[in-house]
Structure 1
Amino acid sequence: MILSSPDPAADPHVAAALLRLQRTSYAREAVLVGDERISPLLEDEIGLTAWRGRWLMAWDGVQLVGAIAWWETDDAVEIHRVMVSTSAMRRGIASTLLSRVLASASGRPVAAATGRANQPAVALYAKHGFRAESDEQIPPGIWITRFRHAA
Structure 2
Amino acid sequence: MSEGTIRTIDFNDTGLVRSLYELQRESYLIEAKLINFYEIPPLKETFEEFQACGEQFRGYFLDNQLAGAVSCTVEEETVTICRMVVHPDHFKKGIAQQLLNTLESDMGHVSLFKVATGKDNVPAKNLYAKNGYKHDRDLEVAPDFYISLFQKAVR
TM-score by length of 1: 0.94
Aligned to 1:133: 136
| Aligned partner of 1:61 among 60, 63, 67 | 63
| Aligned partner of 1:104 among 81, 92, 106 | 106
How high is the sequence identity, in percent, across the aligned residues? 30
Confirm whether residue 3 of structure 1 aligns to residue 6 of structure 2. yes
Deviation, 1:7, is 2.4
Deviation, 1:69, is 0.2
Confirm whether residue 145 of structure 1 aligns to residue 148 of structure 2. yes
Aligned to 1:47: 49
For structure 1, the residue ranges without an aligned partner over 5 or more in a row are none
Q: Distance in 1 between matches of 2:30 and 2:77?
A: 33
Q: Distance in 2 between matches of 1:89 and 1:129?
A: 21
Aligned to 1:73: 75
| Aligned partner of 1:12 among 2, 11, 14 | 14
- After superposing on structure 2, the runs of 4+ consecutive aligned residues of structure 1 that deviate more than 6 Å are none
The AA in structure 1 aligned to 2:82 is H
Q: For 1:34-71, what per-residue CA distance to the aligned partner results, in whole angstroms no more than 9, with x for missing partners? A: 11111111112111110112110001123210000001
The AA in structure 1 aligned to 2:119 is R
Confirm whether residue 123 of structure 1 aligns to residue 138 of structure 2. no
Aligned to 1:37: 39
The AA in structure 1 aligned to 2:127 is L
Deviation, 1:127, is 1.1
Deviation, 1:104, is 2.5
- The answer (yes or no) to whether the contact 1:71–1:78 under 8 Å persists in 2 is yes
- The answer (yes or no) to whether the contact 1:19–1:44 under 8 Å persists in 2 is no
TM-score by length of 2: 0.92
Q: For 1:60-110, what per-residue CA distance to the aligned partner results, in whole angstroms no more than 9, with x for missing partners? A: 123210000001122211100100000011111000001111122324110
The AA in structure 1 aligned to 2:24 is Q
**Cα RMSD for the two superposed structures:** 1.1
